[in-house]
Amino acid sequence: MIDRTEKRSACHFQPEYRHSDVKTQDFYLLIEPEIGTFFRQLSPSRSITMKTPGQDPAAKKFMTLERFINEQERQYANATGDFSGLLHDLSLAAKLVWREVCKAGLVNILGATDRMNVSGDVVKKLDEFADETIYKAMDHGGHLCVMASEENEDILHIPDQYPDGKYVLLYDPLDGSSNIDANITIGSIFSVYRRLSKSGKGTLQDCLQPGYKQVAAGYIIYGSSTMFVYSTGQGVHGFTLDPTVGEFLLSHENIRIPKKGKIYSLNEGNFCNWDGPVQRYIKFLKEQDKASDRPYSLRYIGTMVGDSHRTLLYGGIFAYPGDLNNPKGKLRLMYECNPIAFIIEQAGGRSSDGKQSILRVKPTALHEHTPFFLGSEEDVKLCEEFLKGKR
């Protein structure tokens, strides 16, 4: 029997050096506690050239998220390591949430709690777990002065026993709550700003900054694989979690959204409640016209992070307009729209509230909502023409 309480570091063996036709490679054996089996892995701490059948011998580096963050830091002579430490803490929080998401059907973590959040949504048990996990992973590093969560009405202060830092974190701990029990794609979204206040505890005003002031934003998507997608204003990069080594590995470098897509994504069940310009735009997308490559295909998951991720990779447009029941829509500016818009625009796409870039909207409240349109540049521009009455 394997003692599953044994520290993972105790399960590593000394590296075994072997010769290959490319270069000497470094192997180690790693125990996978969930199934009690040893796997031979290439050491993630080294830069390794790998040769696989049908692949050019000049193979790619084994790039972990941790290493990528550290290499980005070295590009800035005055970097203190605070920002890198913050991102490292976020990656740990992502793994902790992923661990529970993966076994949600096996333990008593599915279902709803007996409370509602500030937006009137029923809080799921996994929502509650993710919210607490992210907060506890981020509260002690000395990188943050304040946090705010979609699940909490007020700002979240750093505990008194820990130092206050120079950054601000806003997050949606688990986007797609209504899909949790159905085992459909969900995700966590985060947004990072520099503080405005000079020192001490962070304030509400530190949190209420327009999206263009974000210094980093991203999301973790829990689906067929788990991905950590983020940007610090220098392009968008995606890392896929390899559960056998517990590392996020670079899988999507410098993601660029297509200039134009063929997919539209929104809850068309609200069609009768939309205003005329939105209805005309959707009808336009469904018309047959080979010259403009129409009709578009409808794809809608119902989880913003999932629909946005597909739009990032395949192009097209994702939208949640205002309607008769919710004039400002249902998406939160600070926790969902700003970080996703930052990612899309960094990848060459476009975002809008129908009048201007989402990143230019000046927030007035932590939980305010906004109409939201984002995606390929040409698709969003065309949508804006309809919204402004130009078509």
Distance set, CA 42 to CA 13, 30, 46 (Å): 13, 10, 9
What does each C-alpha distance from 64 to 190, 236, 239, 250, 252 come to in angstroms?
20, 15, 8, 6, 12
Of 374, 377, 382, nearest to 258 by C-alpha is 377
Q: What's the CA gap between 186 and 222, in Å, rounded?
A: 6
Q: Which of 121, 181, 242, 377 is catalytic?
A: 121
Tens digits of residue pLDDT in 328-340: 999 999 999 999 9
- Residue 227: strand pairing partners: 221, 240
What's the domain range around 34? 1-51
Which residues on neighbouring strands pair with residue 340, listed in sequence order?
none
Of 174, 266, 374, 387, catalytic: 174
Same domain, 23 and 111: no
Residue 127 falls within a domain, yes or no? yes
- Taking 70 as the pLDDT cut, the residues of the chain under it are 1-61, 104-124
- Examine the residue annotation and report whether 172 is marked as an active-site residue of this protein: yes
Q: What is the pTM of this model?
A: 0.82
Helices 82-102/125-138 angle, 10° precision: 150
Task: Specify the number of domains making up the chain.
Answer: 3
Q: Do residue 30 and residue 81 come from a single domain?
A: no
Are 33 and 112 in a shared domain?
no
pLDDT digits (tens, 9 = 90+) for 186-206: 999 999 999 999 999 999 999
Q: Does residue 248 share a domain with residue 100?
A: yes
Active site residue 379: no
- Set 150, 164, 206, 307: catalytic member: 150
Which of 89, 139, 151, 307 is labelled catalytic? Answer: 151
Is 127 in the active site? yes
| 257 located within any domain | no
Q: Is-catalytic flag, 285?
A: no
Residues whose CB is less than 8 angstroms from the CB of residue 354 and which lie 6 or more positions away in sequence, other chains included: 321, 371, 373, 384, 387, 388
Domain CATH number, residue 312 = 3.40.190.80
Distance CA 93, CA 315 (A): 29
Of the listed 89, 128, 131, 175, which one is catalytic?
A: 175
| β strands within the chain, DSSP E | 16-18, 25-32, 37-42, 112-116, 122-124, 144-149, 156-157, 167-175, 186-194, 214-222, 226-231, 236-242, 247-252, 263-265, 297-298, 317-320, 350-352, 372-375
Task: Examine the domain organization and report whether 116 and 150 are in the same domain.
Answer: yes
What CATH number corresponds to the domain at position 171? 3.30.540.10
Domain assignment of residue 59, yes or no: no
Q: Of 89, 128, 131, 172, which one is the catalytic site residue?
A: 172
- The yes-or-no answer on residue 150 being catalytic is yes
**Residue 60: what pLDDT?**
53
> Does the annotation count 128 as an active-site position?
no
Residue 186 CB coordination number (10 Å): 29
Q: Are residues 149 and 174 in the same domain?
A: yes
**Do 237 and 149 fall within a single domain?**
yes
